[in-house]
Chain A
Amino acid sequence: MVNPIYLFVIALAAGFLLSLIDKAGRSAALTVFYAALAAMAGISAQAFIAILGGAESAMIFTAGFKPPFSINLQMGLEESFFTMIVNVLGLLSGIYLVKKLKTEKVYALVLYLMMIMGLNGLIMTRDLFNLFVFLEITSIATYSLIGIERNIRSLSAGFKYMIAGGLASMFFLIGTIYLYRFTGVLHLDSMAEALDLASGPAVVLAVFTLLISVLIELKPFPANGWALDVYEAADDGLVAVIASASSAAMLFVLYKITPLLNGTLLLAVAGIGLTTFVLSNLMGLMQHSPKRLLGYSSIGQIGLIMGVYALLVHSGAASEPMTLLLVAGGLFINHFIAKAGLFWLAGLVGKDSLEGWHVLRKKPVLVFMFGVFILALVGLPPFPGFFAKWQLVMVFSEKGLTLATVLVLLGSFLEAAYLFRWLGKVLKTEGEGEVKTSFAQGLPLTLSALALIGLGAGFSLWIPGGSGLKILYLPMLLAAALFLLDFLPAWVKNTLVILLMSLYAWQLLPGLEGYRFLFGIIFLAGGVLLLIPGYAFKGKRRGFYPFAVMMYAGLAALLISESTLQLFAAWEIMTLGSYFLIIRGKRSEPHALSYMLFSIGGAFVMLMGLGLLYGVNGQSLALTSLETLTQSAGVIFLLIMLGFLTKIASMGLHIWLPGAHGEAETDVSPMVSAILLKAGMFGLIVLMSAIRRPMIGNVDITYWMSWLGAITVFLGNLLAIYQEDAKRLLAYSSVGNLGYVLFGLSMMTHMGWLTSIAFALNHFLFKALLFLAIGGVVMRVKTKNMYEMGGLIKRMPVSFISVLIGIIALSGVPPLSGYAGKWLTFNILLEKGWYLQGLVLIIGGLIAFLYCFRLIYAVFLGQLKDNHRRVKEAPLPVLIPQIILMIAIMFFSAYPGLVLHPVGDFLLKYFPQGAISWQNNTALTAYGHWDGLAVLIITGVMFASVFALLLITNRKAQKVGQFNIVYAAERPSRPELTHVGYNFFAHYRKALGIFSRPFAVKFWDGVSEFAHSAADLFRKIYSGNGQTYLVHIILFVVVVYAFVTGG
Chain B
Amino acid sequence: MIKKYAVLLLLGAFALMLLPFVTEVTPFEELSPVAQKYVKDGPDELGSANLVSSVIVTYRGLDTLGEVAVLFIAAAGVGFMLRRRGDAKKPVKREASGILRSGTVFLFPLVLLYGIYIFLHGHLTPGGGFQGGVVIASGIVLLLLAGVSAKISGTVLHWIESLSGAVYVALGVLGIVLAAGFLDNRILPAGEFGRLLSAGAIPLIYSLIGLKVGAELVGIIDAMQKDEL
Contact = CB atoms under 8 A, between A and B. Distances in A.
When A and B assemble into the complex, do they touch directly, with CB atoms less than 8 Å apart? yes
Interface of A: 3, 5, 8-9, 12-13, 15-17, 19-20, 60-65, 68-71, 73, 105, 107-108, 110-111, 114, 117, 121, 125, 127, 129-130, 133-134, 136-137, 140-141, 143-145, 147-148, 174, 178, 180-181, 184-186, 200-202, 205-206, 1031, 1034-1035, 1037-1038, 1041
Contacts of B184: 62-64
B59 A69 contact: yes
B47 to A, nearest CB: 13
Contacts of A117: 69
B81 A147 contact: yes
B25 A62 contact: no
Given A60-B181, A141-B73, A20 B79 contact: no
Contacts of A144: 73-74, 76-78, 80-81
Which of A73, A105, A108, A202 lies at the interface centre, i.e. has the most chain B CB atoms within 10 A of its CB?
Answer: A202
**Smallest CB-CB A-B distances: 4 pairs:** A64-B180, A144-B77, A184-B32, A16-B165
B162 A137 contact: no
Given A63-B180, A114-B73, A174-B21, A70 B60 contact: yes
Contact of B183 (A16, A63, A107, A180): A63
Contacts of A148: 80
A1037 B10 CA distance: 10
Given A105-B80, A136-B70, A140-B77, A181 B33 contact: no
B21 to A, nearest CB: 6
A140 B74 contact: yes
Nearest to B173: A9
Contacts of B34: 68-69, 184-186
Given A71-B62, A133-B67, A107 B165 contact: no
Contacts of A184: 32-35
Contacts of B175: 63-64
A20 B169 contact: no
B38 interface: yes
A133 B161 CA distance: 20
B69 A15 contact: yes
Contacts of B61: 62-63, 70-71
Contacts of A186: 34
B182 A60 contact: yes
Interface string B1-16: 0000001001101100
A178 B22 CA distance: 11
Interface in B180-206: 180-186
A201 B19 CA distance: 10
Interface of B: 7, 10-11, 13-14, 17-18, 20-21, 24-25, 28, 32-35, 37-38, 58-63, 65-67, 69-70, 72-74, 76-81, 83, 158-159, 161-163, 165-166, 169-170, 172-173, 175-176, 179-186
A137 B73 contact: yes
Contacts of A143: 77
B154 to A, nearest CB: 10
A133 B176 CA distance: 22
Nearest to A1028: B3
A70 B59 contact: yes
Contacts of A68: 33-34
A108 B176 CA distance: 31
A1041 B10 contact: no
A13 B67 CA distance: 15
Given A121-B66, A181-B28, A16 B181 contact: no
A719 B39 CA distance: 88
Contact of B21 (A17, A63, A141, A202): A202
Contacts of A200: 20, 24
A185 B32 contact: yes
A366 B81 CA distance: 34
12 contacts: A12-B169, A15-B165, A61-B181, A63-B185, A64-B186, A65-B180, A127-B60, A127-B62, A136-B70, A140-B77, A141-B73, A184-B35
A178 B63 CA distance: 19
B77 A63 contact: no
Contacts of B17: 205, 1037-1038, 1041
Given A137-B73, A144-B81, A202-B24, A17 B162 contact: yes
B166 to A, nearest CB: 5
Nearest to B162: A20
A227 to B, nearest CB: 19
Contacts of A65: 59, 180-181
A19 B80 CA distance: 12
Nearest to B23: A202
A64 B45 CA distance: 11
Contacts of A62: 61-62, 181-184
A866 B111 CA distance: 102
Contact of A105 (B11, B14, B79): B79
Nearest to B77: A144
Contacts of A205: 17-18, 20-21
B66 A133 contact: yes
Contacts of B83: 105
A1038 B162 CA distance: 44
B182 A63 contact: yes
B62 A130 contact: yes
A127 B32 CA distance: 16
A145 B162 CA distance: 20
A299 to B, nearest CB: 23
Nearest to A186: B34
Which of B83, B169, B186 lies at the interface centre, i.e. has the most chain A CB atoms within 10 A of its CB?
Answer: B169
Given A5-B176, A17-B166, A20-B159, A137 B181 contact: no
A140 B66 contact: no
A73 B175 CA distance: 16
Given A69-B38, A70-B59, A186-B34, A181 B77 contact: no
Nearest to A138: B73
A144 B159 CA distance: 22
A781 B95 CA distance: 88
A660 to B, nearest CB: 50
B162 A19 contact: yes
A173 to B, nearest CB: 12
Contacts of A178: 21, 25
A622 B73 CA distance: 57
Contacts of A1035: 10
Given A62-B61, A63-B59, A129-B60, A107 B158 contact: no
B73 to A, nearest CB: 5
Contacts of A129: 60, 63
Contact of B63 (A69, A130, A141, A145): A130
Contacts of B80: 105, 107-108, 111, 144-145, 147-148
A9 B38 CA distance: 26
Nearest to B30: A184
Contacts of B38: 69
Nearest to B58: A63
Which of A121, A133, A174, A1041 lies at the interface centre, i.e. has the most chain B CB atoms within 10 A of its CB?
Answer: A133
A137 B76 contact: no
Given A111-B73, A178-B21, 12 more contacts: A8-B65, A15-B72, A63-B59, A69-B37, A69-B38, A71-B59, A71-B61, A105-B80, A130-B60, A140-B73, A147-B80, A1035-B10
A61 B169 CA distance: 16
B190 to A, nearest CB: 14
Nearest to A18: B162
B211 to A, nearest CB: 12
Contact of A133 (B20, B21, B70): B70
Contacts of A16: 72, 161-162, 165-166, 169
A20 B161 CA distance: 10
Contact of B14 (A130, A145, A1038): A1038
